Amino acid sequence: MTDTSPSASATPYGTIPPASPLPQRRPVSLPRLQQLRDAGEKITMLTAYDATFAAVADTAGVECLLVGDSLGMVCQGLPSTVGVTLDTMCYHTESVARGLYRVQGTAWLIADLPYGSYAESREQALRSACSLMQAGAHMVKLEGGGWTAPTVRFLVERGVPVCAHLGLTPQTVHALGGYRVQGRTDEDAQTLRRHALELQDAGAAMLVLEMVPAQLASELTQELAHCHTIGIGAGRGTAGQVLVLHDMLGMNLGKMPRFVHNFMPGSGSVLGAMQAYVRAVKDGTFPDDSRHAW
Ligand code: KIV
């Protein structure tokens, strides 16, 4: 049988040096994330699109890596995430998974189901999710509430862990009328709360809350005991935080969103910036609700 462990170095393309041994972190899994949450420790997540940055983020101690469809904007130069295809998501997911494998990484790997890959039917969603799982993802993420709950249940019942995404959902930016804070009115907040509870009930194990008022995100976090809220522009009361990699390295081509913090200055290296991010999320200094929340 072929040895496929990280020490196996002969490939059709040449010899790859064995990965240097790293201090072993326990593999991040859903039970491990629940343990962190129960212990009151914040969960850290960053987006990753390629092997090298994925390996560095894992080394920095980031628990969850998200192959976000934001890659359409930061890697492909598209105007929004709407143009990202399932093939592109699989390509980047495979790259990130290989990067983790090379450093014996332990991060939990989530991949976005892109626009048009899950809305048609639950069967279409399952086919798309299987492609991402076969590319190396441990969990898939999909956007929206209400109509998505039966799809989430269908995937979870078939062994696909799901992360939901509410608030500002970039795939529907045109329907939302722009990148704006969501859930500001009582009615919108009530809808968001109902959707969040339905998604937890359907089995979503994680929920990204993007550009949602801090108070609402914090209340939802209390209400969702089994679904870990991960905030981005949603204040510090969520179970964890996520940022787009390029944003937290200060490499945004457009206007930097207000909720972002550039961790590069003073960190000395990309690894240092990621370690600073992990520290700041864990010790509660990021996000600073007076600057990063609504
Ligand atoms: O695609 C992405 O990067 C995301 C994050 C902003 C949460 O969905």
Atom of ligand 1 nearest to the CA of 170: 8
CA distance to 205, 276, 278, per residue, from 240 (Å): 13, 15, 10
In this structure, the residue with its CA closest to atom 4 of ligand 1 is 68
pLDDT at 39: 96
- Residue 89: which of 104, 108, 110 has the closest Cα? 110
| 65 vs 69: CA distance, rounded Å | 13
Using most ligand atoms within 8 A of CB, pick from 93, 232, 246, 249 the residue to mutate for ligand 1.
Answer: 232
Q: Which residue has tokens 């059709």?
A: 12
Atom of ligand 1 nearest to the CA of 143: 8
Atom of ligand 1 nearest to the CA of 242: 7
- What is the DSSP secondary structure assignment for residue 257, as one 8-state letter? P
In this structure, the residue with its CA closest to atom 2 of ligand 1 is 68
Q: What is the distance in A from the centroid of ligand 1 to the CA of 68? A: 5
| 138 vs 142: CA distance, rounded Å | 14
In this structure, the residue with its CA closest to atom 8 of ligand 1 is 68
- Residue 186: which of 198, 197, 176, 194 has the closest Cα? 194
Q: Which of 143, 198, 210, 219 is catalytic?
A: 210
pLDDT at 3: 47
CB 57 within 8 A of CB 274: yes
Q: Residue 117: what residue type?
A: S
Is residue 210 among the annotated active site residues? yes
The tens-digit pLDDT sequence of the chain (294 residues) is 444 445 556 655 566 555 555 556 789 999 999 999 999 999 999 999 999 999 999 999 999 999 999 999 999 999 999 999 999 999 999 999 999 999 999 999 999 999 999 999 999 999 999 999 999 999 999 999 999 999 999 999 999 999 999 999 999 999 998 899 999 999 999 999 999 999 999 999 999 999 999 999 999 999 999 999 999 999 999 999 999 999 999 998 888 899 999 999 999 999 999 999 999 999 999 999 998 889
Q: Write out 112-159 in H/E/C secondary structure.
A: ECCCCCCCCCHHHHHHHHHHHHHCCCCEEEEECCCCHHHHHHHHHHCC
Question: Tens digits of per-residue pLDDT, 147-171?
Answer: 999 999 999 999 999 999 999 999 9
pLDDT at 26: 81
Q: Output the pTM of the full model.
A: 0.92
Q: What is the distance in A from the centroid of ligand 1 to the CA of 164? A: 11
Q: Write out the chain in H/E/C secondary structure.
A: CCCCCCCCCEECCEECCCCCCCCCCCCCCHHHHHHHHHCCCCEEEEECCCHHHHHHHHHCCCCEEEECCCHHHHCCCCCCHHHCCHHHHHHHHHHHHHHHHHCCCCCEEEEECCCCCCCCCHHHHHHHHHHHHHCCCCEEEEECCCCHHHHHHHHHHCCCCEEEEEECCHHHHHHHCCCCCCCCCHHHHHHHHHHHHHHHHHCCCEEEEECCCHHHHHHHHHHCCCCEEEEECCCCCCCEEEECHHHHCCCCCCCCCCCCCCCCCCCCCHHHHHHHHHHHHHCCCCCCHHHHCC
Alpha helices in 39-121 (DSSP H): 51-59, 71-74, 86-102
pLDDT at 293: 85
And the tokens for 76? 């492909």
Cα 217 to its chain centre, rounded Å, is 17
